[in-house]
């Protein structure tokens, strides 16, 4: 699982090869056992039915890290802030169907991020949180267009985003984001249909 997740069908095949057991009940019993053993480590194996392709995935997630840290150290503060706004832009897509929204690369590269992040910083009640948000705003303002383009490519490569299969040049939210950032996603001001669809799978 290079990206932290894999198709459940592939995981079932591997499980069968290693154990000789082929039933889904045996497989899910193993997942439950592994989750009990990993609980103290803050790790969990989670399954997800991914709406864009209707396939089920299995992923290893960190339940103890805060949302930004799950992106890993190879993303800068500015890139993480950019990603949060990318997620929101896709999540609130008014044209989403059956919970699947998308945003064009052009739209994502031309968002008025300075205004959005400044407003978010003003909403922070805690002084430390406000200072952290202000630093993120400053870092985001320094991102060039080429750096944003590179960030989008990296987010796709790492499974946080995915290219839309139905709209050329558009991005949708990736499997890894649904697995690891579910709390953040549900906090957005989602269209009613999208919220219901997501609550059914998260």
Phi, psi of 134 (to 5 degrees): -65, -40
Among the residue ranges 26-30, 34-38, 128-132, 166-170, the one predicted with the least confidence is 128-132
Q: Examine the domain organization and report whether 107 and 144 are in the same domain.
A: yes
pLDDT for 95: 95
CA distance 58 to 46: 6
**What's the pLDDT at 53?**
95
Same domain for 54 and 128, yes or no, is no
Q: Residue with structure tokens 């303002």?
A: 141
Give the pair of three-digit tokens for residue 165: 């299969």
pLDDT digits (tens, 9 = 90+) for 86-103: 999 999 999 999 999 999
Q: Which of 120-124, 170-174, 188-192 shows the lowest mean pLDDT across its residues?
A: 120-124
Task: State the average pLDDT over residues 6-28.
Answer: 88
Q: Same domain for 124 and 163? A: yes
Q: What is the pLDDT of residue 124?
A: 56
51 and 116 together in one domain: no
Are both 32 and 101 inside the same structural domain? no
Instruction: Let me know whether 190 and 112 are in one domain.
Output: yes
Are 80 and 40 within one domain? Answer: no
pLDDT at 6: 94
- Residue 123 has what pLDDT? 59
**Residue numbers of the domain that contains 11:** 5-62
Q: Domain for residue 188, yes or no?
A: yes
Residues 133 and 127: their CA atoms lie apart, in Å, by 10
Q: Which range has the worst mean pLDDT, 5-9, 68-72, 73-77, 135-139?
A: 68-72
Same domain, 30 and 90: no
Look at residue 78 and tell me if it is in a domain: yes
Same domain, 11 and 79: no
Number of domains in the chain: 2
- Has residue 169 been placed in a domain? yes
Q: Give tens-digit pLDDT for 145-169.
A: 999 999 999 999 999 999 999 999 9
- For residue 69, is it within any domain? no
Residues 103 and 177 both lie in one domain: yes
Report the distance separating Cα 5 and Cα 60, nearest Å.
6
For residues 114 and 62, the model is more confident at 62
- Same domain assignment for residues 124 and 37: no
Distance CA 112, CA 156 (A): 22
Q: What pLDDT does residue 4 have? A: 86
């Amino acid at each position: 699982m290079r990206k932290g997740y894999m198709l459940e069908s592939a995981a079932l095949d591997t499980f069968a090869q290693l154990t000789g057991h082929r039933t889904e009940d045996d497989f899910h019993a193993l997942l439950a056992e592994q989750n009990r053993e990993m609980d103290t480590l803050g790790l969990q194996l989670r399954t997800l039915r991914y709406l864009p392709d209707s396939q089920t995935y299995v992923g290893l997630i960190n339940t103890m890290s805060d949302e930004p840290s799950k992106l890993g150290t190879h993303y800068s503060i500015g890139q993480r802030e950019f990603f949060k706004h990318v997620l929101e832009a896709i999540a609130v897509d008014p044209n989403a169907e059956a919970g699947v929204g998308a945003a064009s690369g052009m739209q994502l590269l031309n968002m008025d991020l300075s205004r959005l992040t400044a407003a978010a910083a003003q909403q922070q009640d805690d002084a430390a949180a406000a200072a952290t948000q202000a630093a993120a705003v400053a870092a985001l303002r320094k991102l060039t267009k080429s750096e944003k383009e590179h960030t989008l490519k990296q987010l796709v490569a790492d499974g946080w985003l995915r290219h839309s299969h139905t709209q050329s040049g558009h991005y949708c939210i990736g499997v890894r984001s649904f697995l690891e950032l579910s709390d953040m996603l549900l906090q957005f001001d989602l269209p009613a249909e999208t919220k219901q669809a997501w609550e059914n799978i998260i």
